[in-house]
Structure 1
Amino acid sequence: MATQLSLLILPVLLLWLVRRWFRRSLLSDIPGPPPEYLFGNIRHVVERSNVDVMLEWQEKYGSSFRVQGFLGLNKLVVSDPKTIQYVLSTAAYDFPKPEPLRIFLTAVDGENLSWAEGDVHKRQRRIISPAFGPRESKELLPVFERCAENLTAHWKDALVNHEKDGSEVINIHQSIHSATLEALCEAAFDFQGESENGDILKELYTHFNENIFPPYQAWMNGIMDHLPVWVVPPLIKFLPTRQLAFIRRHKRETFKIAEELVSEKADAISAGKGKKDIFSLLIRANKSEDVPRLRLSEQELYAQMSMLFIAGHDTTAGTMSFALWELAGHSDVQTRLRNEIREAKATAHANGKAGLTADDMENMVYLQAVLKETLRLHPAVFQVPRMASRDAVLPLSQPIKTLSGEIISQLPVPKGTQVIVSSGCYNMSKCIWGEDAYEFDPERWLKDEPVKSGASVGVLGNLMSFWSGTKACIGWRFAMVEMSCFLVEIFDQFEFRRTKDVQVYGDTLLFPLVVGEEDKGAQIPLRVSIASRD
């Protein structure tokens, strides 16, 4: 019996070893940076503060290069538009997220759209999409306007009788973060003013980034690549770290509130009293599905609530904060944007409008150029890993010269290869955006052809900031309406200048930190003053 068993096991083991060697040998011929000790290059790949290193590698090795993870595990980093189009659109469901990452996402916020793959993803997206349509997003403008007005009123109060020049240094990110959280609570869930559930959620998500991403993220990421999948859930469930304790509490509290909210909104819809917040629209669409097996389960509905908070709050707050940071360093851009805003408002009033509509803001060419340029340089998610679920051949728009000297125009990747799609490297590729790709220049969006990319990617301006294909950000229109509204209100009234000797960078999920003051948490200190109307 033992002999028979060994005869069965030996070929399987041999096949596994051959396949592993084949995968290593294929990828080992792709150029890439030399590894550092046991953990390879994973620290530079995972930690966003190392963006300069990633861009250097892109310039040196091209838009597809090899990096090494823990114990020499080869991975591919891709920013080639043709490759991105294939991985995220053409063959998207053949490149799911790695399983350890999906398990972590489930622990954080359940089986929602960001976790889902394959048929489950198709089913969830079909139900959720209508809540984020163009009309639905634009109808939320009054909510964004109220929250933006509250923000500007807060800054005006801070400037009253302050210093001789009427200016004050303000941590603008803290204020914007609070304002966008307020906007999301009302626009997505109809939490208005003070409410017990709303206050609990605000407390949870005010310091979400600080609590969820550990300082040892890089080495943990490397080790997870080698752990059996079944080991990961109990580690997340029982390890007594501060971050994991917060994750467990976050999910417990969010799901408890979501359960109450789903019941309340379902009853209101049945009684003909449903509202137009995103969660109400989502529940209405789910109830309208005729085939029960195609509906979202209650647990899936609860999980969407958590996703909306994570994806719809920190990301927009970070983007707007970096827009202010960039314009504070470019006074000419700031002045031009302010002039466009005031001219648009004057035209609207002359035409009998009470204010600007979402369509008016969408048609403000320079405002949209500023937003696109901010999104280009400061994408909320710098890169995301995907795993080849089958042997595949990746198309390339730029040929690669392998270490053995061969020129290849397509890249074979064996099943199990981790492909890291880098939106940040794509957004700042000199091959795509020109030699000034690292510079903030909204003028590039006023040209006939701002992008040199041969393949169409993304949902906005050939940018990867909202990702691309079947997994593109479902709330990108919501985000653009919100950010347009806030920037119009802010730059109409205020002028911003940078303080001396302050350098800022974005950490995970665009969490802004000041160099040398990371222990103080998220901040972008700017000198704020009332903008002249002369």
Structure 2
Amino acid sequence: MSYLLTSPAHIILGAALILLVLFALEIRALYAKYDYLDGSPSSHWFFGNVRPYPGMEPGTVMRESFKKYGLTFRDRGFLSFPFFLTTDPRAISHVLNLGYRYPKPNFVIWIFQSITGLGVLVAEGDQHRRQRRIVAPSFALSQIRDLTPIFLQKSYELCKIIDLELVDNQVQELDMVRLVARCTFDVIGFGTELGCLDPGAGSSELADATRDIVEAQVETAGVMAVLQAKFPIFRILPTDRERRTKIARKVVQRLGKEIIAKKKAEVHSRSMDEKNIKKDDIGGGKDLLSLIIRATLADDVPESQKLSDEELLAQIVTFILAGFETSSTCITLTLEALCNDTDIQDKLRQEVSTLDDANPSLDSLNDLTYLDAVVRESLRRFPPGPGTLREAGQDDVIPLSVPVKNIKTGEMMREIPVKKGQQIFIPIINMNTNEEIWGPDGSEFKPERWLEALPESTNEAGSMWSHQATFLSGPRSCIGYRFALAEIKSILFVLIRTYRFEHISPKPNFYHRQAITMKPAIVGREEEGAMLPLKVARV
């Protein structure tokens, strides 16, 4: 019996109970600061109101709350922890533009750092400023123009793979999640041929390991994952998520180190004197990693503007997950939407077919107004990352464009005071579709809205790209948004002018499931992972 009382499991359990008591006391203290905001009571003792529901896409439950309480209200998270939630564009713009004043909570940092390492996606404060300053030139508009031919080349390689599956040019049922992912992964290949688009290859070791990381996050999400995120003491317990993530991440790191070594060798092989390497000594390599290594090895760059090998490795993992995952998600969800309304697909095909040049420049792609409208609308309606959580790093006052009622005094509040440590959730998908901001058709997929005057209420979003929160804004805005837009447009340009896409019959019961990004899945077939089976035929 004495052994049982002192066993590691019981020690951890006892410590956890103490933590839960302290956490409950903290909740009571924080709740007192939110009691002037209206909001929903907790629907579950552990998950609060953020409990995942099978077959329901992110933002669905919150959408009803926004209709009931307005743009700003109080909600309950894990263990009924209260948080301030808003789709008010002025409030969101304030929080995002003061990004270093509103960092990610520590438990969110731990989750992403365990996946990607301490790259630009995870780093905060001065470390983030430094990394972003080094990486940013690789995503300049001039660099994206140079990368556009690569995007188109990979798109046509994808067509060759699709054609191999179209036996005798007959209509075939193809999973576009799998096929598009092969293309976007090869695009992000850092100037290295990953082979994902080689006929018969199907994938690569790096792609498989990356997919394992993503699947481990969604398939093993549950109570223990939440406890480990919230309470570090639980992280000493082995879990399937931790095991699978570590195994896959080791593969990614090993292959990433090989890519870095190869790139460095290219630099030194071209330099007559290794002590006099210049920023342009990469041999014309225009891929992301080559551009970043220029600032890492060059002697004419201060040490403070260079990345260590560990930081370089973290950027590789970050670019893979944040790059290929998000672009792949946007393209597949766009294809789904174009199958839901084939008139939109036909109109888009008509426009992209007007270009005689099968390999247009970035400027020519951007001149295709309906393609631009479809991409903007897809990113608005189906943001790959449907939400983000921030924590006040200091006391502050958040302004509102739409006043909210103080339920204790009855007065209308035009700003919300927040204390250091309080959390603010930004539901990107709800802001992007809120009818008070976008009008009564805000939840619809309607590219034509971008060819007309937008509602004046969207102007409160300030500097956000296209008045939406998909790429965030401020110092933590998506550093690769130009890359993503050019890649998405290039791939859609090639696919839509080459193929016709339709839903299979009977149409599966699709919904969008949250993993690292929001992906299409079929109700009742979740164990098969993300999928989008479509009928595909050459035009």
The CA deviation at 1:356 is: 1.3
Structure 1 residue 113 corresponds to structure 2 residue 120: yes
Aligned to 2:444: 439
Structure 1 residue 464 corresponds to structure 2 residue 462: no
User: Which of residues 382, 385, 390 in structure 2 aligns to 1:381?
Assistant: 385
Structure 1 residue 32 corresponds to structure 2 residue 39: yes
In structure 1, what residue type is equivalent to 2:81? L
Does the aligned pair in 2 maintain the 1:23–1:414 contact within 8 Å?
no
Does the aligned pair in 1 maintain the 2:88–2:431 contact within 8 Å?
yes
Structure 1 residue 310 corresponds to structure 2 residue 317: no
Helix, strand or coil at the partner of 2:403: strand
Structure 1 residue 342 corresponds to structure 2 residue 353: yes
Aligned to 2:246: 248
1:244-393 pair list within 5 angstroms: 244-270=242-268, 271=271, 272-274=281-283, 275-288=285-298, 290-343=301-354, 345-346=355-356, 348=357, 355-393=359-397
The one-character-per-residue Cα deviations of 1:18-76 (angstroms, maximum 9, x if unpaired) are 98755321212211112123122131599973421111111111222211123332111
The CA deviation at 1:207 is: 4.0
The one-character-per-residue Cα deviations of 1:307-355 (angstroms, maximum 9, x if unpaired) are 0110001111111011111111112111111111111x23x4xxxxx63
Helix, strand or coil at the partner of 1:495: strand
Does the aligned pair in 1 maintain the 2:191–2:286 contact within 8 Å?
no
In structure 2, what residue type is equivalent to 1:390? Q
Give distance in 1, aligned partners of 2:348 and 2:149.
Answer: 22
TM-score after normalising by structure 2? 0.86
Does the aligned pair in 1 maintain the 2:398–2:418 contact within 8 Å?
yes
In structure 1, what residue type is equivalent to 2:465? L
1:43-62 pair list within 5 angstroms: 43=51, 49-62=57-70
Structure 2 residue ranges without an equivalent (≥5): 1-22, 272-280
Does the aligned pair in 1 maintain the 2:174–2:536 contact within 8 Å?
yes
Give distance in 2, aligned partners of 1:208 and 1:129.
Answer: 26
The number of aligned residues is 495
User: Which of residues 511, 515, 525 in structure 2 aligns to 1:505?
Assistant: 511
Structure 1 residues 17 and 71 mapped into 2: Cα distance closer, same or farther (>3 Å)?
closer
Helix, strand or coil at the partner of 2:421: coil
Does the aligned pair in 2 maintain the 1:458–1:465 contact within 8 Å?
no
Does the aligned pair in 2 maintain the 1:512–1:524 contact within 8 Å?
yes
Moved over 6 A (4+): 16-20, 45-48
The CA deviation at 1:220 is: 4.5
CA RMSD of aligned residues (A): 2.6
TM-score after normalising by structure 1? 0.87
Structure 1 residues 32 and 168 mapped into 2: Cα distance closer, same or farther (>3 Å)?
same
Give distance in 2, aligned partners of 1:216 and 1:143.
Answer: 36
The CA deviation at 1:470 is: 1.0
Does the aligned pair in 2 maintain the 1:467–1:473 contact within 8 Å?
yes
Give distance in 2, aligned partners of 1:221 and 1:81.
Answer: 32
Give distance in 2, aligned partners of 1:36 and 1:396.
Answer: 28
Helix, strand or coil at the partner of 1:453: helix
Helix, strand or coil at the partner of 1:213: helix
Give distance in 1, aligned partners of 2:52 and 2:84.
Answer: 14
Give distance in 1, aligned partners of 2:129 and 2:114.
Answer: 21
The one-character-per-residue Cα deviations of 1:126-176 (angstroms, maximum 9, x if unpaired) are 0000111111112112222222112222223322337xxx32222111111
Q: Which moved more, 1:318-327 or 1:492-501?
A: 492-501
Q: Percent identity?
A: 28
Does the aligned pair in 2 maintain the 1:337–1:366 contact within 8 Å?
yes
Does the aligned pair in 2 maintain the 1:457–1:463 contact within 8 Å?
no
Q: Which moved more, 1:374-383 or 1:447-456?
A: 447-456
User: Which of residues 202, 206, 210 in structure 1 aligns to 2:207?
Assistant: 202
Q: Which moved more, 1:38-47 or 1:312-321?
A: 38-47
Structure 1 residue 455 corresponds to structure 2 residue 460: yes
The CA deviation at 1:519 is: 1.9
The one-character-per-residue Cα deviations of 1:498-524 (angstroms, maximum 9, x if unpaired) are 233423222220222012221221111
